[in-house]
Amino acid sequence: MTSLFEKKHVVSVNPATRQRVGEVAATPAARVEEIVRLAREGFDAWKTRPLVQRAGIMKRAQQLLLDRSESFAELITLEMGRPFTESLSVELEASVDLIGYYAARSRKFLSERRLPLHNVFFMRRKSLIHYQPLGVMGIISPWNWSLLIPLGSIVPALFAGNSIVFKPSELTPLVGEKIQELFLDAGVPESVFQLIQGDGHVGAALVRSGADKVFFTGSTDVGQKVMETAARNLKPVVLEMGGSDPAIVCADADLEITAAGILWGAFNNCGQNCNSIERVYVHASVYPSFLELMTRKISHLQVGNGMEPGVDIGPLASEAQLHKIEKLVHKAVKDGAHIHCGGNPFRDMEGYFFQPTILTTEEPLISFHDEELFGPLVMVTPFQDEEEAVRFANQSAFGLAASVWTRNRKNGLRLARQIESGTVMINDAVVSFGMTEAGWTGVKKSGIGWVHGEKGLDEMVNMQYINHDPQFRMQKIWWFPYTPSVSGAMKAGMHFLFHRNWWKKLRAIPKVLRCFAPYLLLNSRRKEKL
């Protein structure tokens, strides 16, 4: 099969019509190292720019993104299929907010911080944390959130003074070009924001390159390969990978609201979210009613071209995704699941459209707990008690996000704290990724490191500890030579500071004074000589 590099171009195809949207030049993998070197040259100047200047550029980027929001949303819809309304109201809103969030807090997050020391030996010292940019950040992003996901790394990286080499998905190359254009127009130097285009070969070259850190969002299988490659050079990585997100529907849940919320959490973006609801566990007492509500609500959903008004669900992003969902449904049925509704592609539609599908099982399909569905497909299973529901929810190698649906806030929090995941939402789903303060991470095979929030910015810096002793003319007691008086002084000092018995504390005071006297006298004589 001819590769992208032999073709010299990356072609963007509208998944709703299978028509060409546009194309960009592919980056030869052999050139990636050279591009990283260019980014490093840009870094040397960018890191010295005052933070207030970098913040000003980011604020301009925010306003430009706001002005261009409709054109961005249209391009997102054309390249990967999600409805225009969803692109604008979900992805663009969160992206504009993310830039503003860091712009407003960059000084607070990146200014040097005093670190008071509690130990009596060190209390007079000046102690602080200094933030240093890391260098060249390699950012590899997916197609499903082609704007918000890369911005979650690009924006804090630039704020912190790093340069970047950005590789968008080969399915959404035009959005990648538009992102670079946005930041260059805002005033980011071209050398600081490098863009590379192509498939996984180009991404692999970036991981192997001299980039100082790699941020990857994608499948767990590829994420493991990224980590293995980076580990050869002890290169740090942040990985946001797969999920098989559970939802627990308690007996007291408001079923009308819950069904609407889970419908959206499972099928927005055609289910192509790493934190989409994929497994739903419903208390047996409300299981029939819940299924009836879900079925009725699904029947009202409009599936079609995302640029058409009134469309709720667009196509899958590619033919490969369509074939994957077909195979998953067939496998689930073979393993004992029942198709409650949907289950087939739309054969009479031009694009990669698949029916919103509910599969039901009497017992959880263990074979699917470690499978990221990534399509308009959800599995619904009854449970008898909440302990069983938590056990079902945790029977997965993934641990990205989850949700609990209940009227009882206290019980919802209790259940949330037992679920093994980076995020749990109560009576909602998915949108926590758009809450910029909420640091985003996964456990188990779902992720390593953080994006968003202050922790996301911490991933972009070396937090350097600096300590200054104002008593620079005094020799420290722990320095050479190791005399018996030093040992006695330290032992007495530890008893005085840490012993729980107050009588022993008091008895240590004379020994502390007696043992520390020669040390103080030695330093006093040294000062006189100076």
Does the N-terminal peptide bond of residue 481 adopt cis geometry, omega within 30 degrees of 0?
yes
How far apart, in Å, are the Cα atoms of 230 and each of 170, 224, 225, 419? Answer: 22, 10, 9, 31
Helix (H, G, I), strand (E, B) or coil at 423: strand
**Same CATH topology for 9-14+22-241+454-464 and 245-436?**
no
Of all helices (H) and strands (E), which one includes residue 498?
A: helix 484-498
Sign of CA dihedral 3, 6, 12, 16: negative
Q: Are strands 113-114 and 19-25 parallel, antiparallel or unpaired?
A: unpaired
The domain ranges of the chain are 9-14+22-241+454-464, 245-436, 473-529
Cβ(386)–Cβ(366) under 8 Å? no
Instruction: Put residue 236 in one of left, alpha, beta given phi > 0 → left and psi -120 to 50 → alpha.
Output: beta
What HEC string does 234-265 produce? CCCEEEECCCCEEEEECCCCCHHHHHHHHHHH
Q: Which phi and psi angles does 81 have, rounded to 5°?
A: 100, -15
Query: Which amino acid, residue 127?
Result: S
Cβ(154)–Cβ(48) under 8 Å? no
Q: Provide the Cα torsion 170, 458, 235, 191; round to 10°.
A: 60
Residue 483's pLDDT is 80
Distance (Å, rounded) from C-alpha 203 to C-alpha 226?
A: 9
- H helix intervals, 305-408: 319-334, 366-369, 386-394
Q: Provide the Cα torsion 263, 268, 271, 274; round to 10°.
A: -110
Q: For all residues of the chain together, what is the average pLDDT?
A: 93
Distance (Å, rounded) from C-alpha 470 to C-alpha 124?
A: 8
Encoding tokens for residue 42? 């840009």
**What CATH number belongs to 245-436?**
3.40.309.10
Q: Which CATH class for the 9-14+22-241+454-464 domain?
A: alpha beta
Cβ(96)–Cβ(424) under 8 Å? no
Helix (H, G, I), strand (E, B) or coil at 314: coil
Distance (Å, rounded) from C-alpha 148 to C-alpha 168?
A: 12
SS3 content of the chain, % helix, strand, coil (to 5): 45, 20, 35
Encoding tokens for residue 507? 């008895």
Cβ atoms within 10 A of the Cβ of 246, count?
31
Kindly give the confidence (pLDDT) of every residue in the chain, 530 residues in length, as a single tens digit, with 9 standing for 90 and above. 334 444 589 999 999 999 999 999 999 999 999 999 999 999 999 999 999 999 999 999 999 999 999 999 999 999 999 999 999 999 999 999 999 999 999 899 999 999 999 887 787 889 999 999 999 999 999 999 999 999 999 999 999 999 999 999 999 999 999 999 999 999 999 999 999 999 999 999 999 999 999 999 999 999 999 999 999 999 999 999 999 999 999 999 999 999 999 999 999 999 999 999 999 999 999 999 999 999 999 999 999 999 999 999 999 999 999 999 999 999 999 999 999 999 999 999 999 999 999 999 999 998 888 889 999 999 999 999 999 999 999 999 999 999 999 999 999 999 999 999 999 999 999 999 999 999 999 999 999 999 999 999 999 999 999 999 887 777 777 888 888 877 888 888 888 889 999 888 888 888 877 766 655 555 555 544 54
